[in-house]
Amino acid sequence: MPTPALIEKCKDNLTSGIRPIIVTIQAGILTAEELSKAENIDGRIDVLEIEQFFATNIYEISKFKPSERFVTVKDLADKYNQIIEKCKTDLSLKIEYE
């Protein structure tokens, strides 16, 4: 969920010439928009909903081929699971699939 601290980081990025992108859940979009408006940076940052962000990236990585989508999702899940195994003690965070 976007916070005032995140908006401050966005402002710092803008000062450095970097256009910030916030990826958040649906409920966070309005929060990000309101916070950015309060800091006068609305319209200068992009706010994306996480499910759409992932779906778009999966389509792109799989080269828009339906036959490649499962492989792409499986590879992403495998990489995520490797990170969980390496960095976390709670292995219930892993993605299970058949």
Query: What are the Cα distances from residue 53, in Å, to 8, 22, 24, 27, 32?
Result: 23, 10, 9, 15, 16
Return the closest-CA partner of residue 70 out of 83, 59, 84, 82.
Answer: 59
pLDDT single digits (tens) 80-94 = 999 999 999 999 999
Dihedral sign, CA of 13, 14, 19, 21? positive
Predicted pLDDT at 98: 80
pTM: 0.71
pLDDT single digits (tens) 15-57 = 999 999 999 999 999 999 999 999 999 999 999 999 999 999 9
Positions of E strands within the chain: 21-24, 46-49
- Domain locations in the chain as residue ranges: 4-50, 62-93
